Amino acid sequence: MPLFATPAPKPARALHRLCLLWLAGLLGVSALPPTWGARPAPAATVPMRLPTSVVPQDYQLHLQVDPDQPRHQGEVAIRLQLQQPVPARGAIRLHARGLQLREVWLETGARRWRGKATPVDAERVDLHFGQPLPAGPALLTIAFSGTVAEHDVFGLFRQQEAGHWAVFTQFQADGARRAFPLFDEPGWKVPWTLSLTVPQALVAVANMPVASEEAARPGHKRVTFQPTPPMPSYLLAFGVGRFDVRDAGTAGRDAGVPMRFIVPTGRAADADLAAGITSRILAALEAWFDMPHPYAKLDSLALPLTTTFGAMEHAGLVTYASTLLLASPAERTPQFEREYVSVAAHELAHQWFGNLVTLAWWDDLWLNESFASWLGDKITDQVQPAWGWHTSVQRARAAAMRADRLATARRIEQPVLQDEDMGNLWDAITYEKGQTVLAMFEAWLGPEAFQTGVRRYIGRHAWGSATSADFFNALGEADPALPAAVRSFTRQGGIPRLAVTLLCSDGPPRLQLAQSRLLPLGSPSLSAQRWQLPLQVRTPAGSTRLLMTEAEATLPLPDADCPAWVQANAGGAGYWRAAYAGDGLARLAAAPGLSVGEWLALLDDATGLHASGDVDSRQALALVRAAAVHPSGEVVQAAMALLRHLEPLAAPGEQAALAAVWQAAFGARARALGWQHLPTDSDDDRLLRAALLPAVAVRGDDAGLRQQALQLARAWQADRASLPADLRVPVLTAAAHATGPGGGPVLFQQLLGVLQSSTVRTERGDLLTALGQFRQPGLPAQARAVLLQPQIDLRDSLWPLLRAQAADPAQRGEVLAFVLREQAGLAARLGGEELPRLPGLFNGACSSDEARRIEAGFAPAMARVPGGRGALARTLEAVRLCTAWRARQASGLSD
Ligand SMILES: [Zn+2]
- Say how far residue 689 (Cα) sits from the centre of its chain: 26
pLDDT(692) > 70: yes
Residues contacting residue 172 through CB under 8 Å, at least 6 positions apart: 234, 235, 312
- The confidence score (pLDDT) of residue 152 equals 92
Rounded mean pLDDT, 65-89: 98
Ligand 1 center–CA 321 separation, angstroms? 14
Q: Is residue 350 marked as binding?
A: yes
Burial class (CB in 10 A: 0-12, 13-18, 19+), 337: middle
pLDDT(103) > 80: yes
Ligand 1 center–CA 171 separation, angstroms? 13
DSSP letters of 644-685?
HHHGGG--GGGHHHHHHHHIIIIIHHHHHH-SS--TT--HHH
Ligand 1 center–CA 462 separation, angstroms? 18
Query: Which residue among the candidates 161, 286, 347, 442 is catalytic per the annotation?
Result: 347
From residue 217, alpha-carbon distances to 64, 193, 198, 210, 763 in Å are: 11, 21, 10, 19, 42
pLDDT in tens, 231-278: 999 999 999 999 999 999 999 998 999 999 999 999 999 999 999 999
Closest to 408 measured CA to CA, from 261, 526, 532: 526
Give me the chain's average pLDDT, please: 93
**Residue 314 carries which side chain, given as an amino acid letter?**
H
Contact at 8 Å (CB) between 425 and 365? yes
Rounded mean pLDDT, 3-10: 28
pLDDT in tens, 368-387: 999 999 999 999 999 999 99
Ligand 1 center–CA 441 separation, angstroms? 20
Ligand 1 center–CA 324 separation, angstroms? 14
Cβ neighbours of 860 (radius 10 Å): 10
CA distance 235 to 231: 7
Q: For 584-590, which contacts have Cβ atoms below 8 Å and span 24 or more sequence positions? A: 584/500, 584/502, 585/615, 585/619, 585/623, 586/619, 586/622, 589/622, 589/623, 589/626, 589/627, 590/565, 590/626
From residue 64, alpha-carbon distances to 73, 145, 224, 240, 752 in Å are: 5, 9, 12, 11, 42
Q: Is residue 369 marked as binding?
A: yes
Contact at 8 Å (CB) between 256 and 358? no
CA atoms within 13 A on the CB side of 402: 19
What SS3 state is found at 241?
strand
pLDDT(6) > 90: no
- The confidence score (pLDDT) of residue 555 equals 98
Residues contacting residue 636 through CB under 8 Å, at least 6 positions apart: 627, 628, 630, 666, 669, 688, 692
Ligand 1 center–CA 784 separation, angstroms? 33
pLDDT(179) > 60: yes
- The confidence score (pLDDT) of residue 5 equals 27
Rounded mean pLDDT, 659-670: 98
Helix axes 482-490, 434-445, angle to 10 degrees: 160
CA distance 693 to 691: 6
Contact at 8 Å (CB) between 376 and 394? no
pLDDT in tens, 389-407: 999 999 999 999 999 999 9
The fold adopted by the segment(s) 1-241 is: Immunoglobulin-like (2.60.40)
Ligand 1 center–CA 368 separation, angstroms? 7
pLDDT in tens, 9-37: 332 322 222 222 223 332 333 333 333 33
pLDDT(96) > 60: yes
Ligand 1 center–CA 380 separation, angstroms? 15
> For the chain, what is the total number of helices (H) and then of strands (E)?
28, 27
Active site residue 161: no
Which of 524-528, 589-593, 629-633, 814-818 shows the lowest per-residue confidence on average (mean pLDDT)?
A: 524-528
Ligand 1 center–CA 18 separation, angstroms? 35
CA distance 212 to 222: 8
Is the peptide bond prior to 173 cis by the omega test (within 30 degrees of 0)? yes
pLDDT in tens, 774-806: 999 999 999 999 999 999 999 999 999 999 999
Ligand 1 center–CA 291 separation, angstroms? 20
What SS3 state is found at 220?
strand
CA distance 805 to 219: 50
- The confidence score (pLDDT) of residue 3 equals 23
Rounded mean pLDDT, 650-670: 97
- The confidence score (pLDDT) of residue 45 equals 58
- Global confidence as pTM: 0.94
DSSP letters of 464-514?
SEE-HHHHHHHHHTT-TTHHHHHHHHHSS-S-EEEEEEEE-SSSS-EEEEE
pLDDT in tens, 737-774: 999 899 999 999 999 999 999 999 999 999 999 999 99
- The confidence score (pLDDT) of residue 414 equals 87
Rounded mean pLDDT, 292-315: 96
**Residue 364 carries which side chain, given as an amino acid letter?**
D
Residues in the chain: 895
CATH of 495-589, one of 2.60.40.10, 2.60.40.1910, 3.30.1330.10, 1.10.600.10: 2.60.40.1910
Which residues sit opposite 95 in a β-bridge? Answer: 124, 182
- pLDDT band at residue 595 using 50, 70 and 90 as cut-offs: very high
Strands 577-580 and 552-556: unpaired
Rounded mean pLDDT, 68-91: 98
First to last CA, the chain: 55
Closest to 414 measured CA to CA, from 366, 481, 485, 354: 366
Ligand 1 center–CA 335 separation, angstroms? 19
pLDDT(888) > 60: yes
> What string of H, E and C letters represents the secondary structure of 131-194?
CCECCEEEEEEEEEEEECECCCCCEEEEEEECCEEEEEEECCCCCHHHCCCECCCCCCCECEEE
Ligand 1 center–CA 874 separation, angstroms? 23
- The confidence score (pLDDT) of residue 422 equals 82
Task: Name which CATH class applies to 358-490.
Answer: mainly alpha
CA distance 724 to 777: 30
What SS3 state is found at 218?
coil
Q: Is residue 346 marked as binding?
A: yes
pLDDT(506) > 50: yes
Ligand 1 center–CA 572 separation, angstroms? 24
Closest to 372 measured CA to CA, from 349, 400, 396, 342: 349
